[in-house]
Amino acid sequence: MERASTAHGQLSPSKTRAQAKRKYIASHVPRGALENETNRVGARRVLPSEPDPHNRSLLHGLFHVEAQRREATKMRDQEEQEEQTVRLKQQDQVLSAQRKSANANRAPASSWRGVSDYEYELLRAEQDKVRKALELEVEAQRAEIRTLQEEKSAQSAAHAALLDEVASLRANAALLMRQLATHDDRSRAMQTEAEEIKARNAHLEQELCAAETLRRKLHNQVQELRGNVRVYARVRPPRAGHDGDLAEAEIRFPDGMLATQLEVVANAESATGAATKRTHAFAFDRVFPPSATQKDVFVEVSALMQSVLDGYNTTIFAYGQTGSGKTHTLEGGAEMPSSAIVHDTAGLIPRAMHMVWQVAEKLRAQGWEYEFEAQMLQIYLDHIYDLLGTAASDKEKHEVRHTATHTSVSNTVTVPMHGPQDVFSLLECAKKRRQVAATLMNERSSRSHSVFMLRVRGKNSSTNETSDATLNLVDLAGSERLAASGSANDPTRLKEAQSINKSLSSLADVIAALGNGPNGGAARHVPYRNSTLTWLLKNSLGGNAKTLMLLALSPMAAHLSETLCSLRFATKVHGTHVGQARANKSGAGDR
């Protein structure tokens, strides 16, 4: 009918082709099959979100449901794929039958021209297109199935890994719980131990305070057993560039490490007048050879520094001829930088300050607080001058006053000390004002006695104890013979030398009087007022102080006569006992 209608011109070719196409699709493709198939293939599965490690039971259920759903989806996809395959085969069979029928019923080529062949080709091309589209959809579904299977495998592996992780976390949690329990036990044990240690520390602190009190008593007893007036002798080394080619005296130290004996070999005459050698032996509390350092000397002297903090007046005075090294021993070398308190060349004064502050800081933990103040005086021509004052203060009269425990000098500058470094500024100021002059024996001979006075006042807030003591470091002017020093040719130097020798002689008289009384004690009258020097040092020499004489000796043969005089005077001092020193203290018991 279609071909006939077309032949008679009742339908246009384009309309005929459209109708044929619609009829073919309507007769061969079920309605809605293509849309349903596309929607089914295009549908996407919603993957489960990443499981929450804290909801393990819920996660396990979700994975089980998802596995069942995927299995059902897989089976349904396989069934649909098989149905599509069957439909494609059926369509191929229908098309084959139609082609055979069309070929059988086709009119001869002479009568079949135009539209029918064209429509047939169009339908065939359309069929091929639909078939290819369906094949592509089937392949896409297969690829999606493979992807879903891979995702399923990955999810299964992830699930297994999560289960392993959960098991590991559970094991770690159990371990941490055990460790926490152990830590709690240890914490309680440590807290108990800390309380015990705290109580033990409190007890030890009490014992420490008692031990410190006992130590102070024993320390002072040891010092008193050694004698209140101790004598140390130090032989200086030859000075490069000063002593030149001068011969050295023969000075020996026979007892080696014990270091308490000293022998001097000097020229002498026999009974027949022949020249001979004579050995003079001396014994003191400590002897230092020329190789001894400033530190070696201070180690022996440092025991007295503790006595100052314990409340005992303490005096160290350097005695010896001019040029024997007294000032070097007390103050240190000229090359010493002002900031190096414990430099190798530092003398007794800066080292003493350093030690006193160190010990005071340690005693702070036991409740002690200390205040320090210093003075520097010189005695020149038997008059007192303030080395820390101005030139105008030299015109003022300075009066020495004594109490039972303390000595003070009027109209002098007292400087608070805030640290051991402050002593250097005092020494520099004092050097500028101290009287020095060149002599034949020393190009920088001290023409006056200098006295460094450090007052130490302490208070213990825990025990209400107090202490008040003074440390005197005295640099005596050098004893000298007028002819040897050349002072006899200079009226000023002569007057200075006479004043120096007079004051040193007065010091010898006081020492002698202190040891010439009954039972080795002090005589009824001790001539302290014979010189300003002995009057200033009255409390230091009169039994209420610990006193050390540091004898400085020259090693040169040219000075041997003065060396022997100094050694004999030191021997006299060493044999003097001035009685037991008393601490200037008050409060709860002796320290």
Binding-site residues sit at 320-327
CB 586 within 8 A of CB 466: yes
Task: Give the C-alpha distances (Å, rounded to integers) separating 248 from 266, 269, 289, 540, 556.
Answer: 11, 20, 13, 35, 4
Distance between CA atoms of 118 and 246, rounded to whole angstroms?
146
Tokens 């007192």 — which residue? 384
Annotated binding site for ATP: 320-327
Find the radius of gyration of the CA atoms of the chain: 59
Name the E strands within 214-297: 229-235, 250-252, 261-269, 275-283, 286-288
Which backbone phi and psi does 343 adopt, to 5 degrees?
-60, 155
Closest by CA to 142, choosing from 195, 83, 74, 94, is: 74
> CB neighbours (10 Å) of residue 512?
15
Distance between CA atoms of 53 and 165, rounded to whole angstroms?
9
Percent helix, percent strand, percent coil in the chain, to nearest 5:
55, 20, 30
Give the pairing type, strands 400-402 and 436-437.
unpaired
Closest by CA to 323, choosing from 383, 432, 451, 235, is: 235
Q: Work out the widest C-alpha separation in the chain, in whole angstroms.
A: 188
For 111, the token pair is: 């009568």
